[in-house]
């Protein structure tokens, strides 16, 4: 059996997908990035007493987290997109 035939069989059975990669990224990369951002915020602003600057940057991080949350959920992102589109169309 050739490699293409094996790949065709796997695809037809529905065993090939990106679910594992997506789950790994959500479970490992996102928390690691959040930890790095938190440490950078503390290092850049917290040590100098620039608490207002840290809070401004934290606001950006919260917006970024909201965007990531919408990107990884299927129904919520679709529903919000439909609602926003409905504001501009009849």
Domain spans of the chain? 18-88
21 within 8 A of 8, measured Cβ to Cβ: no
The whole-angstrom separation of Cα 59 and Cα 55 is 6
Confidence of residue 16 (pLDDT cuts 50, 70, 90): low
pLDDT in tens, 18-62: 667 777 877 888 788 888 887 877 777 666 777 777 778 778 878
Confidence of residue 69 (pLDDT cuts 50, 70, 90): confident
24 within 8 A of 62, measured Cβ to Cβ: no
The whole-angstrom separation of Cα 18 and Cα 26 is 12
Phi and psi based region of residue 81 (left: phi greater than 0; alpha: psi -120 to 50; beta: remaining): alpha
């Amino acid at each position: 059996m050739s490699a293409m035939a094996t790949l065709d069989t796997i695809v037809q059975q529905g065993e090939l997908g990106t679910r594992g990669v997506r789950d790994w990224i959500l479970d490992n990369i996102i928390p690691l990035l959040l930890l790095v951002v938190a440490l950078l915020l503390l290092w850049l602003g917290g040590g100098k007493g620039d608490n207002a600057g840290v809070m401004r940057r934290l606001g950006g991080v919260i917006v970024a987290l909201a965007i990531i949350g919408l990107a990884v959920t299927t129904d919520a992102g679709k529903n919000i997109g439909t609602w926003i589109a409905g504001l501009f169309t009849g």
